[in-house]
Structure 1
Amino acid sequence: MSLTPDDVKRILELVQNSAFDELRLEAGDLKLVVSKHGRIVDAGGAATAEARLAPTAAPPASAPASPVPAVAPAQAAPAAAAAAPKSPAGSSSDESNLIPIKSPIVGIFYISPEPEAPPYVETGAEIDEDSTVGLVEVMKVFNAVRSGVRGTVVRRLVGNSEFVEFGQPLFLVRPAER
């Protein structure tokens, strides 16, 4: 397996934008280890090398330059939740029985197989357990996201081409009556 400079840049961007501190990738003779905080720990628990993940874009002039995110991952989730659009009043009880469809891996989420193609599913669509609801791309490999639930799509929670984490909810589904 060989990686192009664009592949390496993409991996670094994915790690930088994730909640993970370290990524280890082994494929054949290729071994890649990336750490956000500069300490790489081997399998025995010993620090083996110093390596830092450089920022993927220049920070704003008012912000200090740092490869470490300004907000810790544990703090980022509440901030993102606060920035998310609020549901209409009274709908929280309606949503208590909804089932999330979660991302099976970290990567970039796509709602359709091609840029000009219609989305796999729309709000209001009836789906079954094997329905494909989107794709998650990692290093130019596209992985289908299956719903795993039968019901009606109530809401999409992420945008097209948006970075997603493992286990992040992508859709909310009202389960079908049995």
Structure 2
Amino acid sequence: MELTQDDVIRIFKLIDESPMGRVSLQVGDFKLEVEKGTSPGSAPARAPRAAAVPEAAEAAGIEPGMQGSAPPEESPGADGHLLAVKAPLLGIFYRRSQPGVPPYVEEGSPVEEDTTVALIEVMKLFNPVKAGVKGRIARICVENNALVEYEQVLFLVKPE
């Protein structure tokens, strides 16, 4: 049995809504162990990530037509007209496809609905994040290589 991105999102939602403090799941070679309710200071130290990201688009088999995020939602900004581009899933946020290349977008960059603005890595699979709106990037809200939560705001876009 192979897990899809939607399956993983559903699993995380079920775990989040579950009263259980610890969950273990194994499907084929995939094994997931989650423990809820730990304080930030008690979480185990994370080993530093390797500096190199494989040629994400090619290595992960990302198809150009894959949809990477939900439609942006309005977010209060200085002018009240900014839309939030949110993480479509939990994972590691990357602003560029590989080390040494420019980021997908910078503050002030114009974007279309189908513009890839970032990648999120989940279990060695790289998922594109699409802007979902035509406009300009007003603010980048997440650092490169950061762990992002499902529906966490990644960018604020001023629509055009």
TM-score, scaled relative to structure 2: 0.60
List runs of 5+ in structure 1 lacking aligned partners: 2-14, 39-53, 59-90
Residues 1-178 of structure 1: pairs in structure 2 closer than 5 A: 20=16, 25=25, 27=27, 29-30=28-29, 32-37=31-36, 55-57=43-45, 92-94=77-79, 96-176=80-160
CA shift at 1:25, angstroms?
A: 5.0
From the superposition, tell whether residues 156 and 37 of structure 1 become closer, same or farther in structure 2 (CA, over 3 Å): closer
- What is the rounded CA distance, in whole Å, between the counterparts of 2:116 and 2:95 in structure 1? 10
Identity of aligned residues (%): 41
Query: Which AA in structure 2 matches 1:149?
Result: V
| Kept in 2: contact 1:155–1:171 (CA 8 A) | yes
The count of corresponding residues between Structure 1 and Structure 2 is 111
TM-score, scaled relative to structure 1: 0.54
From the superposition, tell whether residues 31 and 155 of structure 1 become closer, same or farther in structure 2 (CA, over 3 Å): closer
SS of residue paired to 1:100: strand
SS of residue paired to 1:154: strand
Q: CA RMSD in A?
A: 3.0
- What is the rounded CA distance, in whole Å, between the counterparts of 1:111 and 1:118 in structure 2? 8
From the superposition, tell whether residues 132 and 31 of structure 1 become closer, same or farther in structure 2 (CA, over 3 Å): closer
- What is the rounded CA distance, in whole Å, between the counterparts of 1:23 and 1:99 in structure 2? 35
List runs of 5+ in structure 2 lacking aligned partners: 2-11, 47-75
| Kept in 1: contact 2:23–2:35 (CA 8 A) | no
| Kept in 2: contact 1:121–1:133 (CA 8 A) | yes
